[in-house]
Amino acid sequence: MTLKPQDIVIALKMVAVGKNKWTYSKLAYELAMSPAEIHAGVKRLFASSLVIKSPTAPAQPVKQSLAEFLVHGIKYAFPPARGGITRGMATGFSAPPLDKEFVNTSELPLVWPDPEGNSRGEEFTPLYRSVPKAAQQDRQLYELLALVDAIRGGRARERKIAINKLQKRLTKCQES
């Protein structure tokens, strides 16, 4: 069973949810995916050992394994496509929490295409088409996805800072 890009979005949403209970229909609604997509994604995450069953809570991501995959594999498994100038939602080095690290850059921001977005910049393909909508509703998920995008398509310095911040967030989520 091969992972799909939306599976990473599902795993990151599980990280954002934390130990709180979730349901397939709730994740589907919050990620703008179908319940069937969520179910299939969770099944692939189980098969990849990125998610495990928990006796006291719903399935939970294995944060150490997820971090290892995101740090070492995401840019090879799901490389981003870049496009022209478009309206959208900032991501990567252009979005929180990295935007404060790279204030004085002459580069155009990276954006997920979204007609309702508040930024104009270089198109950066999200992991899944519903990512902008899901990110607008969940700040923690948005920041996790932006960090992952910096790892997927950033330069060495951007990747290094993003990896550090992502690992700290995953460790923090593990403790709570």
**Residue 27 is part of a domain; what is its CATH number?**
1.10.10.10
Say yes or no: 18 and 105 in one domain: no
Asked if residue 83 and residue 45 are part of one domain, the reply reads no
Euclidean distance between CA atoms 120 and 27, whole angstroms: 29
Q: Name every residue whose Cβ is closer than 8 Å to that of residue 141 and which is 6 or more positions away in sequence.
A: 12, 13, 16, 134, 135
Same domain, 102 and 167: yes
Residue ranges making up the domain that contains 109: 77-175
Claim to verify: residue 90 and residue 111 sit in the same structural domain = yes
Of 50, 76, 102, at which residue does a domain stop?
A: 76
Question: pTM for the full model?
Answer: 0.94
Q: Give the span between the Cα atoms of 150 and 94, in whole angstroms.
A: 9
- Judged against a pLDDT cut of 60, whether residue 174 lies above it is answered with no
Confidence of residue 51 (pLDDT cuts 50, 70, 90): very high
- Residue ending a domain, among 46, 76, 106, is 76
Last residue in a domain, options 32, 60, 76: 76
Q: How many CB atoms lie within 10 A of CB 169?
A: 19
What the block records as the tokens of 37 is 């997509």
pLDDT band at 103 (very low <50, low <70, confident <90, very high): low
**60 plus 9 within the same structural domain:** yes
Euclidean distance between CA atoms 51 and 46, whole angstroms: 5
Is 91 found in the same domain as 141? Answer: yes
pLDDT tens digits along 66-93: 999 999 999 999 999 999 999 999 999 9
**Do 95 and 155 fall within a single domain?**
yes
Q: How many helices (H) and strands (E) does the chain have?
A: 8, 5
Total structural domains within the chain:
2
Distance, in Å, from the CA atom of 160 to the CA atom of 158, rounded to the nearest integer, reads 5
Q: What distance in Å separates the CA atoms of residue 172 and residue 58, rounded to the nearest whole number? A: 19
